[in-house]
């Protein structure tokens, strides 16, 4: 169960005076959403993390004192930890140590309610923890003096357990591939019926599910907690002149780990294979944050998922929370994106401009020809 936690970060750019603050605040938000009480923060400026402990040795000693004085039971790093770093830190600090990747999976696990979500979470967890588990097993037999010898079965048992981990991960991935084939077959059936799909995505907490509910009339769970939506939700929408599937799917975060993308390809494939992607952004946030989050998701969609920018519509949500005097500055901060993507300003919670958005989407569907879909 979540308890007291200390947040840690290695800042590799000494000239970064703002981004690291955003990273720490996001880490804090994720941890608090899961129920952790933040009792300390530790930051070190280094060209790169150390191989053994992430922090330099002096900072590790300082962190140990902080753990002791605050009675913290968990240390959470923003930086991705290797199995070796995690093992060394836990052994020295005498407390649980996780990184943002593992923290995110904890949130996913607390939200997961269907088999597909749970499968993807387990694949992501095992993929990340495999090296760490190997180190734990090796240490267990080292301490137990189970060294390989003529009469010892220590090495045999170790290799057998490591092999078991590999086989479990392999079976889970095979199961995921079967789901992926089923997903593609369903998609082909929809296309054969002439029913395109429009996917809603964006940075987490941008109001994606609220928009989905407003356009469909449904009441899917909406929460201030991040990652409420894990598995994609499909609903057949009757627009002004045609029908199409509207899809609500997972939100993104900054510094998305490639391993996470590979593990959640079942969910992300709904975005990749959609005819149109609605990139939802919270326009009520400050200019810098709006731009930062649009940049983050745009990069993931175009550079990582290889989605053609011509299929993206920028939906600027929560305009009801913006002082009209401040709106021009927010729009100016993302002017290059509003020029790259057609954009629509809406308020999903108030129902503002949603009919226009539907009409715009239908017009876009009619104009798209010879769509080329990536294969994730």
- pLDDT tens-place values along the chain, 376 residues long: 689 999 999 999 988 888 899 999 999 999 998 899 999 999 999 999 999 999 999 999 999 999 999 999 999 999 999 999 999 999 999 999 999 999 998 988 887 778 888 888 898 888 888 888 888 877 776 665 545 444 445 555 667 777 888 898 899 989 988 988 888 888 788 778 878 899 999 998 899 999 999 999 988 877 766 676 777 888 998 877 788 999 998 888 888 788 888 888 888 888 998 999 999 999 999 999 999 999 999 999 999 999 999 999 999 999 999 999 999 999 999 999 999 999 999 999 999 999 999 999 999 988 875 454 444 4
What gap in Å lies between CA 362 and CA 358, rounded to an integer?
6
What gap in Å lies between CA 74 and CA 169, rounded to an integer?
27
Report pLDDT for 59: 97
- Among candidates 224, 233, 248, which has minimal Cα distance to 114? 233
Buried b (16+ CB within 10 A) or exposed e, 120-133: bbbbbbbbbbeebb
Opening angle at CA 313, ends 21 and 194, nearest 5: 135
Report pLDDT for 296: 93
- Sign, CA dihedral 106-108-113-114, equals negative
Report pLDDT for 141: 67
Pull the structure tokens for residue 117.
Answer: 């979500």
How many separate helices (H) and strands (E) can be counted in the chain? Answer: 13, 10
What gap in Å lies between CA 84 and CA 134, rounded to an integer?
10
What gap in Å lies between CA 216 and CA 236, rounded to an integer?
8
Place of tokens 């995110």: 104
Task: Indicate the pairing of strand 243-248 with strand 276-282.
Answer: unpaired
For residue 20, give the H/E element and its range.
Answer: helix 19-34
DSSP 133-196: HHHHHHHHHHHTT----SS--HHHHHHHHHHHHHHHHHHHHHHHHHHHHHHHHHHHHHHHTT--
Report pLDDT for 374: 46
Please tell me what DSSP assigns to residue 246. E
What gap in Å lies between CA 102 and CA 116, rounded to an integer?
19
CB atoms within 10 A of CB 248: 27
Pull the structure tokens for residue 294.
Answer: 């649009």
| Inter-residue contact 314 to 338 (CB < 8 Å) | yes
What gap in Å lies between CA 106 and CA 121, rounded to an integer?
9
Report pLDDT for 117: 84
Angle between helices 100-111 and 115-143 (to 10 degrees): 130
For the chain, how many residues are written?
376
What gap in Å lies between CA 98 and CA 164, rounded to an integer?
24
Report pLDDT for 234: 87
Report pLDDT for 375: 46
What gap in Å lies between CA 196 and CA 243, rounded to an integer?
8
Report pLDDT for 157: 62
What gap in Å lies between CA 199 and CA 186, rounded to an integer?
16
Place of tokens 């760490």: 132
Report pLDDT for 372: 45
CB atoms within 10 A of CB 270: 23
Cα atoms found within 13 Å of the Cα of residue 333, Cβ hemisphere only: 19
């Amino acid at each position: 169960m979540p308890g007291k936690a200390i947040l840690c970060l290695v800042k590799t750019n000494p000239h970064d005076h703002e981004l690291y603050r955003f990273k720490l605040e996001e880490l804090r938000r994720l941890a608090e959403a899961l129920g952790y009480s933040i009792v300390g923060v530790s930051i070190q400026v280094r060209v790169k993390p150390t191989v053994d402990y992430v922090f330099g040795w002096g900072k590790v000693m300082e962190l140990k004192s902080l753990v002791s004085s605050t009675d913290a039971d968990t240390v959470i790093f923003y930086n991705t930890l290797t199995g070796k770093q995690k093992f060394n830190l836990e052994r020295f600090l005498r407390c649980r140590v996780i990184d943002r990747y593992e923290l995110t999976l904890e949130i996913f696990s607390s939200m997961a309610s269907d088999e597909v979500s749970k499968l993807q979470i387990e694949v992501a967890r095992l993929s990340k923890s495999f090296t760490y588990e190997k180190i734990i097993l090796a240490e267990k037999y080292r301490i137990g003096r189970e060294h390989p010898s003529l009469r010892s079965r220590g090495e045999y048992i170790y290799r057998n357990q490591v092999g078991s981990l590999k086989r479990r991960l392999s079976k889970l991935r095979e199961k995921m591939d079967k789901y992926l084939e089923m997903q593609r077959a369903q998609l082909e059936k929809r296309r054969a019926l002439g029913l395109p799909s429009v996917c809603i995505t964006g940075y987490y907490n941008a109001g994606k599910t609220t928009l989905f509910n407003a356009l469909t009339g449904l009441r899917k769970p909406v929460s201030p907690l991040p990652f409420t939506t894990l598995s994609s939700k499909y609903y057949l929408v009757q627009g002004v002149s045609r029908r199409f599937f509207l899809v609500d799917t997972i939100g993104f975060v900054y510094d998305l780990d490639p391993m996470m993308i590979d593990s959640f390809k079942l969910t992300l494939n709904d975005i990749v294979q959609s005819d149109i992607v609605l990139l939802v952004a919270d326009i009520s946030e400050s200019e810098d944050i709006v731009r930062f989050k649009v940049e983050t998701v745009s990069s993931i969609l175009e550079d990582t998922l290889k989605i053609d920018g011509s299929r993206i519509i920028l939906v600027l949500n929560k305009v009801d929370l913006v002082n009209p005097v401040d709106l021009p500055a927010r729009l100016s901060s993302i002017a290059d994106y509003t020029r790259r993507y057609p954009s629509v300003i809406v308020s999903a919670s108030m129902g503002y401009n949603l009919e226009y958005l539907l009409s715009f989407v239908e017009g876009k569907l009619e104009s798209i020809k010879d769509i080329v879909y990536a294969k994730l």
